[in-house]
Amino acid sequence: MNGLPALLGLSEPDLARAVAEVAPERYRARQLMTWMYERRAASFAEMTDLSKALRERLAEKFVVGLPTIVSRTPAEDGAEKFLFELADGARIEAVYIPSENPEEGAPRRITICLSSQAGCALDCTFCVTGRMGAGRNLTPGEIVGQYLAIAKERGIGPHEANLVFMGMGEPLLNAGNVLRALDLFEREVSPRKITISTAGVVPGIDLLATRTRRPNLAVSLTAPDDVLRSQLMPVNNTYPLADLFAALRRWPLEHGRRITFEYVLIKGVNDHPAHAAALAKLVRPLSSKVNVIPLNESREWLPGLQRPSEAAVDAFARDVEKGGVPVTVRWSKGLGGNAACGQLKGRETPRHSPKAAAARLAKPP
């Protein structure tokens, strides 16, 4: 991008100030926003209702800022993983997920899974991204750019997609930029069609709760007690379950909405009937539902961890449901393209030792 500043990710007032020297007319910022967001323009040359001279002046000083698509990996179920390279060379992944068996004539249902960081410092035992180690926060433009680039490639119009922050990184460790991205997404995506998934970063949950129009909240739980959860998710040492659930009780949940708890099911680790009973007891007081996600295995990145059998998964879900909590089993899409839940990485070699993470589970509770 030749080191030029990107316009993507700026609010309309900030954009107006940025281009004032080149395009001082008050309407120009709105015109540029329309081209970048609604018309998916990747360059100023595409903005054909701007004069050629103005397009050239803009191109001399700025770039739009869409990330570069390095590769696209389709899966057998219709999902597609996009590998992006950012201006500084960092690489991230996002996923296009189509609806499953849509009814004839029904509007298509599309979900785009977004990354919020280039890497992740949380080191969850069951997540490939955690093997990468910490990476930098993404800017609002880099977050929104994933959506716009995929929308441009796949022909997705405004108001068609659901967005989930379930890709690389912990969104609420980059809360400021994620919230600014949410402001931009509201141009064409309702907050009710956006889900923020967090490993339980309490200050970020409290900050997100201050928004007037809040997205859906999903919490990666994966264990019903502090001992096991700390082994699986070291973030629990900083924000234990008591603190996390206090924040969730503070969350201003509108009528008809629920908090989603995500529970990655790992064979012989957290799949016993006693875990199911404890999980139901823990989350039942909240207006909530549980998504049981069978582990997406990786011998290289997640050694020693296995997915339970389909019968064991179904039995666990039934046990949670018997405890009075709505349950859905989420068999991840994109598995064949390494695009499923917990598989995104953006690089091919880990920074953290997978064996070190596996050793945490070998310690007796």
Name residues whose C-beta falls within 8 Å of residue 85's C-beta, 6 or more positions apart in sequence.
67, 68, 70, 91
Same domain? 39 vs 72:
no
Helix, strand, or coil here: 68?
Answer: strand
Q: What is the CATH number of the domain that holds 30?
A: 1.10.150.530
pLDDT at 334: 45
pLDDT at 232: 95
Same domain? 194 vs 209:
yes
Same domain? 254 vs 292:
yes
CA distance 144 to 35: 14
Q: What is the CATH number of the domain that holds 294?
A: 3.20.20.70
CB 345 within 8 A of CB 334: no
Give the DSSP H/E element, type plus range, for residue 313: helix 310-322
Instruction: Transcribe 230-252 into DSSP letters.
Output: HHH-GGGGTS-HHHHHHHHHHS-
**Mean pLDDT in consecutive groups of 10 residues from the start of the chain, 365 residues:** 89 98 96 96 96 97 97 92 95 90 67 95 86 87 98 94 96 98 96 97 98 97 98 97 98 95 97 98 98 87 88 98 96 51 48 56 51
Q: Where in the sequence is the domain holding 172, given as residue range(s)?
A: 68-362
- Quick check: is 2 in a domain? no
Amino acid residing at 232:
L
Same domain? 42 vs 186:
no
Q: Among 80, 93, 142, 262, which one carries the catalytic annotation? A: 93
pLDDT at 344: 47
- Quick check: is 5 in a domain? no
Could you give the number of structural domains in the chain?
A: 2
pLDDT at 268: 97
pLDDT at 362: 53
CA distance 127 to 122: 10
Cα separations (Å) of 308 from 21, 45, 295, 331, 336? 61, 52, 8, 12, 18
pLDDT at 244: 98
pTM (2 decimals)?
Answer: 0.89
Same domain? 194 vs 302:
yes
| Residue 93 annotated in active site | yes
Same domain? 53 vs 197:
no
Q: Among 56, 127, 341, 348, which one carries the catalytic annotation? A: 341
CA distance 221 to 241: 9
Same domain? 352 vs 324:
yes
Same domain? 252 vs 174:
yes
| Residue 120 annotated in active site | no
Same domain? 95 vs 39:
no
